[in-house]
Structure 1
Amino acid sequence: MADSKIKYYPVDNGDMSLILLQDDTSILVDCNIRQSSIGSNDSKIYDVKKDLLYSIKKRDSNPFVDVFVLTHGDCDHCRGFKSNFYQGDPTKYSAEDRKENKILIDEMWFSPMIAEEHTNDDEDAYQQEAERRIELHRKKSADRDKTGNRIKIIGYDGNKDYKDIDHLRATPGTVVDEFNGKKQTTFSVFIHAPFKEHLASAEKDKNSTSIVFQARFKNASYDSKYACLAMFGGDSDHYSWEIILEKTKRYKNDKKEQALDWDIFLAPHHCSWSFFNDRPQADNPEPKANSLEVLDYKRTGGKIIASCKKILDEKPNPPHYEAKEEYVKKLDKAADFLNTAVYPKESELKPIEFTVTSGGPTLSPTSKVGSAIGSAGGLGAASTVVKQG
């Protein structure tokens, strides 16, 4: 059985990550497939669609992902969805769809916030496909639980009501271990957000209502400790993380579930200052104590991924150079901060890829950066994040 992997794609200021489990189950978190990248020969523009097609499985020659998680509907998190992913009845997937390499989605994860804020065609397409699947459940269609029709609702409702299908819902504080109809024994997800407070707010903001979750990997079902804990937060801001911190500690899930611990932390909103305080940074230069405390849950040798442009001390931003400086302060060394626009090689972009090993998440050879990290490594060894005991 293969080791689990996590890929963070270089997509400029945007997010696109792929989780591959031991049994080849694929979980895509957001997409930012720019048309200019498809078939590009420019080494500084990575063809993420080509890599995705290579990485995922096919069923009857048709490419598919087991789960697609859209953290929120901003364009840089769902760009290319409409043209690159199949929408509609999966039994009607055609030869033309196959020719265009349309990717089937067996199970969608859907936040009710997407139903209330429509700002781009890709978000609308995701919403319409989600509503198609929801309608199958409301009508109790015999096809509602088949691959290509599955859906999971993440978080609470705002103005739109999905209470009649609560059995499909996972709320903050929930552990999910079933993906695309299959229960996993070495992988689970702890749902952190979005919260009822944000969805009910009169001033809803997509960023603050992002799906936030912790991906939890074990190497074997009988392991008592996690080999890797990876945090995904979309564009969540410091307000969201304040609630995450408070609620996780209140219900003692910081201890019972290790729900705040991390080996890999995807910097929210493309290394924006909004994780640390309000913007503009010049008017709010002090990072919030809650945000700093979240970073203190780093396990030995933890790494931070900045999915964004090359970080320079200049405008426009994000990325914010000051945010990078704050992140680096919390790491064992500066080399543990990885920017998708620079690593592994600025002149020839590739995904930053981790393999989950018994010693923790290890940077794959094509993404290897620097020497070993963590006290158990030793200089010149494989670059491994060493988990705590």
Structure 2
Amino acid sequence: MADSKIKYYPVDNGDMSLILLQDGTSILVDCNIRQSSIDSTDPKVYDVKKDLLSSVKKRDANPYVDVFILTHGDCDHCRGFKNNFYQGDPAKYSIGDRRENRILIDEMWFSPMIAEEHTNDDEDAYQKEAERRIALHRNKDADRDKPGNRIKIIGYDGNKDYKDIDHLRATPGKVVEVFNGKKQSTFSVFIHAPFKEHLASAEKDKNSTSIVFQARFKIASYDTKYACLAMFGGDSDHYSWEIILEKTKRYKNDEKEQALDWDIFLAPHHCSWSFFNDRPQAENPIPKETSLEILDYKRTGGKVIASCKKIIDEKPNPPHYEAKEEYLKKLDKASDLLNTAVYPKESEPKPIEFTITSGGPTLSPTNKVGSAIGSAGGAGAASSVVKQG
């Protein structure tokens, strides 16, 4: 079997990450496929779709991802979905779809809490495709469990009621081990958010209801320790992380599941200050203790990924230079903060790719080029299921 990998794509201020498991299973977390990047000859604009097509498997010559996780519906997390991913009955995938390299999605992860505020065509397309699949399951269609029709509900319901398909649901505190109909023995996901509390909040928005999860890798099924723990949080803010911290500790999942530990931490909202405190940063300059405590769960050699523009000390932001400085205080060295915009070099950014080894996540050999913290300066300082909703 091949080693598991994680790729973080350079997509400006946006998120797009690909998890590849030992058996070739692919899990795409968000997408930000800018039209200008397709067939790009500009070394500063990476062709993420070309890379994705070369990384995932094909079935009957048609490219597909096993799972697509949309953390929330902001355009910088779902840009390009409508044109680059197939929507509709998978049996009707056409020669034209293949010609356009539309990527099939065997299983969608869908959060009802973030699907109520449509703000862009790509989010609308994702919602429409999710509803198509939900209708198949509600109607007990014979094809409902086939690849291309599968769906998992993440979190709780908003205005729409999905209780009749609760068997498809995963809520905070649950561990998911089955992906695209296959149980994994060396990979799982711990669901952290979104929570019920966000439904009643007057401040509810897409960012605060982002899907937050921990990806957990082992090398062998009999291993008792995780080789890598990677945290994904969309645009979740410090309010969300405060709830995550409180609930995880209350149910002792910080101990039983190591659910807060991390080797790789994808900085929420593109290295925004909103992870540390309210914005604007100048009016709220003191980081919340709860956010700092989350970072204290770093394991030895932990890395922070800033999926954003080059981090410089000026507006507009995000990224926030002050957020970068706070992350650096928690890291062992400055080079442990990796900025997608300048990795491995600003003139030609490429995906930040980790290979999961018995010694932890290791930067893939082709990517070990210099430091990519995004700006000068700044020193670093030194499967149970438990309801958590």
* TM-score of Structure 1 vs Structure 2, range by shorter chain: over 0.9
Residues 33 and 163 (structure 1 numbering): CA distance in 2 closer, same or farther, change over 3 Å? Answer: same
Report the equivalent of 1:24: 24
1:231 corresponds in structure 2 to 231
Counterpart residue number, 1:70: 70
Residue 320 (structure 1) aligns with? 320
CA distance in 2, matches of 1:335, 1:123: 35
Shift of residue 25, structure 1, vs aligned partner: 0.0
- In the TM superposition, residue 50 of structure 1 has moved relative to its aligned partner by 0.2
What is the CA distance between 1:98 and its match in structure 2?
A: 0.2
Q: Distance in 1 between matches of 2:264 and 2:370?
A: 17
Q: Which has the higher contact order (CA 8 A, sep 6+)?
A: 2
Q: Distance in 1 between matches of 2:186 and 2:137?
A: 29
Deviation, structure 1 residue 340: 0.1
The one-letter code sitting in structure 1 at the alignment partner of 2:4 is S
C-alpha distance in structure 1 between counterparts of 2:342 and 2:158, whole Å: 39
Task: State the alpha-carbon separation in 2 of the partners of residues 13 and 252 from structure 1.
Answer: 35
State the Cα distance separating 1:142 from its structure 2 match.
0.6
Q: Distance in 2 between matches of 1:325 and 1:240?
A: 21
CA offset at residue 346 of structure 1? 1.1
Q: Is 1:84 the equivalent of 2:84?
A: yes
Contact residue 33 and residue 48 of structure 1 kept, 8 A: yes
Q: State the Cα deviation string for residues 300-337 of structure 1 (Å, max 9, x = none).
A: 00000000000000000000000000000000011100
Q: Distance in 2 between matches of 1:287 and 1:137?
A: 45
1:175 aligned to 2:175? Answer: yes
Name the counterpart of 2:146. Answer: 146
CA displacement, residues 340-376 of structure 1 (integer Å, 9 cap, x when unaligned): 00111111111000000000000001221559xxxxx
Would the aligned equivalents of 1:158 and 1:200 in 2 still touch at CA under 8 Å? no
Measure the CA separation in 2 of the matches of 1:202 and 1:167: 30
Give me the CA root mean square deviation. Answer: 0.8
Q: Identity over aligned residues, as a percent?
A: 89
Which stretch shows the higher mean deviation, 69-78 or 160-169?
A: 160-169
Deviation at 1:75, TM superposition (A): 0.1
Kindly provide the amino acid, as one letter, of the partner of residue 156 in structure 2: Y
Output the CA distance in 2 between the equivalents of 1:290 and 1:49: 37
The corresponding residue for 1:380 is none
CA distance in 2, matches of 1:114, 1:241: 17
Distance (whole Å) between structure 1 residues aligned to residue 108 and residue 142 of structure 2: 18
Q: Which residue of 2 aligns with 1:210?
A: 210
Amino acid of the structure 2 residue aligned with 1:358: S
The answer for the alignment partner of 2:254 in structure 1 is 254
Once the 2 structures are TM-superposed, how far is the Cα of residue 114 of structure 1 from its aligned partner? 3.2
- The code of the aligned residue for 1:267 comes to A
Aligned residues: 371
1:10 aligns with 2:10: yes
**Aligned ranges 1:68-147 → 2 under 5 Å:** 68-147=68-147
Structure 2 residue runs without a partner (length 5+): 372-389
Alignment of 1:279-290 (within 5 A): 279-290=279-290
Q: 2:355 — aligned with what?
A: 355
| Unpaired segments ≥5 residues, structure 1 | 372-389
Do 1:174 and 1:191's aligned partners in 2 also have CA atoms closer than 8 Å? yes
Q: Residues of 1 paired with 2:298 and 2:199: CA distance?
A: 29
Q: Partners in 2 of 1:200 and 1:53 — Cα distance?
A: 41
Deviation, 1:134, is 0.1
User: What are the residue-to-residue correspondences of 1:150-165 with 2, within 5 Å?
Assistant: 150-165=150-165
Contact kept, 8 Å, 1:159 with 1:200, in 2: the verdict is: no
Counterpart CA distance in 2 for 1:163 and 1:126 is 20
Native 8 Å contact 1:344 1:366 kept in 2? no
Conserved 8 A contact 1:115-1:160: no
Q: Distance in 2 between matches of 1:290 and 1:80?
A: 35
Residue 346 of structure 1 aligns to a residue whose secondary structure is coil
- Contact 1:147-1:180 within 8 A present in 2 as well: yes
Residue type of the alignment partner of 1:171: T
TM-score by length of 1: 0.95
- Of 9-18 and 345-354, deviating more is 345-354
Q: Kindly state the Cα deviation for residue 249 of structure 1 after the two structures are TM-superposed.
A: 0.2
